[in-house]
Each structure stands twice: as structure tokens, then as C-alpha cells.
Amino acid sequence: MNVHIDSTATDRVLAPDELEAALRAIGAERYHHLHPFHRLLHAGALTRGQVQAWALNRYYYQAMIPIKDAHALTKMPAPELRREWRRRIIDHDGDGPGTGGIERWLKLAEGVGLDRSYVQSTDGILPGTRFAVEAYVNFVRDRLILEGIASSLTEMFSPGIIADRVRGMLAGYAFITEETLAYFTPRLTQAPQDVDFALRYVKAEARTAAEQAAVLAALRFKCDVLWAQLDALYLAYVDPGLIPPGAFVPAAE
Amino acid sequence: MNVHIDSTATDRVLAPDELEAALRAIGAERYHHLHPFHRLLHAGALTRGQVQAWALNRYYYQAMIPIKDAHALTKMPAPELRREWRRRIIDHDGDGPGTGGIERWLKLAEGVGLDRSYVQSTDGILPGTRFAVEAYVNFVRDRLILEGIASSLTEMFSPGIIADRVRGMLAGYAFITEETLAYFTPRLTQAPQDVDFALRYVKAEARTAAEQAAVLAALRFKCDVLWAQLDALYLAYVDPGLIPPGAFVPAAE
């Protein structure tokens, strides 16, 4: 595995607030709210089949998040750190049947007309989705916990995109209801809580220029993971519509 | 990591020649000679910048092949098996400075106008390339050696595509010379030799229906790895020309 050295790094150690500003600057340039697929999704400009492709592929990302977070737990020596982080697993997996973020995503997928067991099989997802999501899981497994925690910081930028998405999708698609989008409601409070902890951790623990460069590179990597998933969707289902062999083919509309 | 169960598998054990036929059928449906990027490349229909993007991204695949093969070596208990497989590493890494497949690929990249150290840095490659290539390395690291060897069998289909490529690129691009394409000449003899061994191994060792299904899934996975690299190139540099943040931008032509 290549180590990705941040070519913009200097030897100067940033003050914690400078580090936060540098992290926010990465989001402003590279977060996937800028991707044309999201602009179309939120503008109500996609077909039902294209929205299905998004829900189907994004399911794999949702489903692997607790695996990613379990890898993070394995690198946390202190109970208080693990207590904080395990909340993410609980948020996604729920407290019993029919609860949790993954279940809510399945309801979203069913709400847009997909079959639950087809979604769960992940048979129809794009190879580009699979490779990007697994790159994220492997990154957290293989790197320092500082880098793993930093890679979660794309959530700094998510409340804005979620608000846009829910408003835009409810207005733009007759087949979308508030109930279908129930996944996103708790995320609006969970994400800031998660970010609050992760950002404090990163600002406190990245003390050397090399550690700060690794933190910035981790966030850039994670932006690539999110962006590449939309690239794969765009190529296959929007323009030029090049669906790879074996992937989901929307029904004619 | 998901285990990808072959949904077309039956409980019947295939005869070795039936297994080979099933492997060849996967190539006929999923090998990347069918991808529109290759059709354009071989038809002389790309710009110099698009050919540069291909050479730059494909370098990362070439550069990681010996890492992948070293993972395979770690799973081979017998000296005769390792002796056979290590040839692949020698072919890529050469016998001294200025030799080997990776060096020849760098000459190809320089021949189409790229800077050697920029190529070697892999700074400008697409995230989609990085994730697909690393998925391949991780597959060989994490799976059974039977699956790792089976995943190499896309080479069964490569002599045809290489002949098409060399003929088409020499005819189609004024900036391409035979010397630039020197990478491909030894591949025409190396690949069949590699395939001969790997195919015999797989036909002899995949004795149960489950092992045969795993072998077929491994080849399907590898076709996805190759296809996804061309998908990423196509989206970024052909149509619609959506270059991700931070990736190589060809000079205006």
C-alpha cells in the first residue's frame, strides 16, 4: 500500500485552529456536495431508476460503516475512547430488529421501489462502489487510529448536504415521502455530535507536522472515497450511461 | 469483506475442460477488450492527453503487480510453485536498472510525453484507479491461493488485445513509435507461459463445486478490476470529462 504523503505539507506545526481551517478548506474543495450527481439528485432531475441506483449503491457504504468502526475500536486502548466511538456502531445497527441507520436505509431503498433482499445481497452494485467502500474499510484497518478518526471528518460537511437533499428530494420526486427519507433525520443530530468528538481528538493528538499532514491526507482520501462512488454512478446511470457487466439495470420508465 | 458467492454455481462438479470453458465464457462477456475506452484507444481516436491519462493511470497497476505477486508467494508452500510464480516478479522488476516491465511502462509514459518522476509519484492518478488496483492486491492477500491464481487468468485473453493495441496505436497516433510500445513485445510470450501454468493449476486444484465457483468468481472479480479502471478513465477524460479534484489534467491541445 502506498503511503500518501501530503505534497502541500510544510515543516511548520499548525495551531489547532489552523488545522481545523485546513480541514474545512479540503471540504470546500473536495466534498461530494460539489459532484454533479448530487446536484441532479437534489434538483429532482433524476429518473426513478437513477435514484434507485443511488440508493442501491449507497446501501453498501452504509452497511460497511459499522465494520469500519469496529476496525477503529480495535485500535483504541482506552474505555472512554471506545465508549465514545461505539455509539456510531449502535447508531447504525440499532437496538433491535427494525431499528438503526442500516435498517432506515433499507426502508429508503424499498421506498424508491427496490427489493430489500436484492439490496442486501449487494449483487447489483457497481464495482467502483465496492472498491471505494472497501478502500475506506481497509484504510481504517491498516492506518493509525489518528488517520482513521480524521477520515471520519467528512461529517463536518454533511449537515448542509443532508438539509439540501431532504428539501430537494421531497420537492423534486413524487415517489419520495418524508417517511422514505427518515434515515436522514437522526443524522442531523448524530453527525455534529460525532464530529465534535473527532475534531477535538484530531486537534489534540496531531502534534507534529507529519501527523498533521497525515490527518489532512486522511480527509482528502475520504473525500476521494465519496467522490469516486458518485463518479461510478454518474458514468453508469447518467452520462454516458455505461453500465458495467453484471450491475443493476433500471427498468424502462 | 463480503464473500462473493457465484449465483450461477450449481452443485455439480465441472470436468476440467468444462471449467476452462466457463472461464473463457467470462472473458468473452467481461474482459476489458469490450470497453469503449479500449475501442477508442486502439482506433487512434484519442487525443495525446487522453493517451497520457491512460499511461499514467495504468502505471499504478503495473507498479503494484509485483506486490500482488509477492502476496501470492507468501501463500505457496512448495519451492517449485514459488519458482514458477517468482518469474512474474522478475519479469516486472527486471534484472537490473533499466530493465523489466515497470521500467518499460515508464518508457511508454515518457514516450507519450509524461514526466517520469510525476508518473512514479502516482500523485495524478484517479481515485478510481487507486481503489481498483488496491482491491486486486488485497484480494490476493486476503483470499485463498487458488483464488489468487485464478484472478491472474485474465491473461488468457490478453494476447489478442495486445496485438490489436500495438497495431492500432502505431497506425493511429503520430506520437507513438514501436520503441514506445516495447512494453508489450515480451508480454506476448510471457502471458501465454504464465497462463499455461495458472490454468493447469486451477483445473487440477479446484475439485469441489464450491472451489470451482470461487475460481469463476475470482476471474469475474478481476475483470471488474480491469473494467473499473477504464470506467474511471472514460468518465474523467472522454465523456463527460469529469476530472476528480486533484487528478491529472491534460495540457490544452
- Structural domains in chain A, sorted by start: 16-237 (1.20.910.10)
pLDDT in tens, B211-233: 999 999 999 999 999 999 999 99
Q: How many CA atoms lie within 13 A of B93 on its CB side?
A: 12
pTM of the prediction? 0.92
Structure confidence by residue, pLDDT tens digits, A27-43: 999 999 999 999 999 99
Q: Is residue A212 within a helix (H) or strand (E), and if so which, with residue range?
A: helix A209-233
Find which of B226, B231, B234, B238 to mutate to test the A interface (most A CBs within 10 Å of its CB).
B231
Count of CB atoms within 10 A of residue B228's CB? Answer: 29
Cell readout for A220 is 482528502
Query: Is residue B233 within 8 Å of B51, Cβ to Cβ?
Result: no
Closest residue in chain A to residue B125, using alpha carbons only: A224
Cα B196–B197–B198 angle (5° rounding)? 100
Cross-chain CB nearest to B30 (options A2, A132, A245): A245
For residue B44, the number of C-alpha atoms closer than 13 Å in the C-beta half-sphere is 11
Report pLDDT for B3.
Answer: 42
Confidence class for position B6, pLDDT limits 50, 70, 90: very low
The DSSP code for A239 is S
What is the distance of C-alpha B89 from the center of its chain? 14
List of chain B residues whose C-beta atoms are within 8 Å of the C-beta of residue A139: none
pLDDT 10s digits, A144-159 = 999 999 999 999 999 8
pLDDT of residue A223: 98
Buried b (16+ CB within 10 A) or exposed e, B70-95: bbbeebbeeeebeebbbebbebbbee
Among the partner residues B30, B128, B223, nearest to A231 by beta-carbon distance: B128
Neighboring chain B residues of A223 at a CB cutoff of 8 Å: 245
Is residue B145 a contact partner of residue B156, using CB atoms and an 8 Å limit?
Answer: no
Q: Determine which of A35, A71, A235, A248 to mutate to test the interface with B (most B C-beta atoms within 10 Å).
A: A235
Whether A30 sits inside 8 A of B246 (CB atoms) is: yes
The answer to whether the Cβ–Cβ distance between B1 and A231 falls below 8 Å is no
The b-or-e profile of A70-89 (16+ CB within 10 A means b, else e) is bbbbebbeeeebeebbbebb
| Residue A9 pLDDT > 70 | no
B134 with A131: Cβ contact below 8 A: yes
Nearest CB to A127 within list B127, B137, B224:
B224
CB nearest B135 (choices: A134, A242, A244):
A134
Average pLDDT over residues B54-83: 97
A232: chain B residues, CB-CB within 8 Å? 128, 228, 231
Here the cell at position B146 is 487458488
Tell me which chain A residue has its CA closest to the CA of residue B245. Answer: A30
Q: What are phi and psi of A94, to 5 degrees?
A: 80, -175
CA–CA gap between residue B156 and residue B144 (Å, rounded): 20
B4 pLDDT more than 70: no
pLDDT of residue B10: 59
State the pLDDT at residue A3: 42
How close B120 comes to chain A (CA, Å)?
11
Q: Is A151 helix (H, G, I), strand (E, B) or coil?
A: helix
B147: nearest Cα among B198, B187, B192: B198
**Predicted ipTM?**
0.88
pLDDT of A8 over the 60 cut: no
CA distance B187 to B210: 32
Average pLDDT, chain A: 95
**pLDDT exceeds 50 at position A25:** yes
Q: State the Cα–Cα distance between residues B167 and B176, nearest whole angstrom.
A: 11
Mean pLDDT of B33-46: 97
Rounded mean pLDDT, A54-60: 98
Length reported for chain A: 253
Say which DSSP state A250 is in: P
Q: Is the dihedral angle over the CA atoms A86, A226, A240, A50 positive or is it negative? A: positive
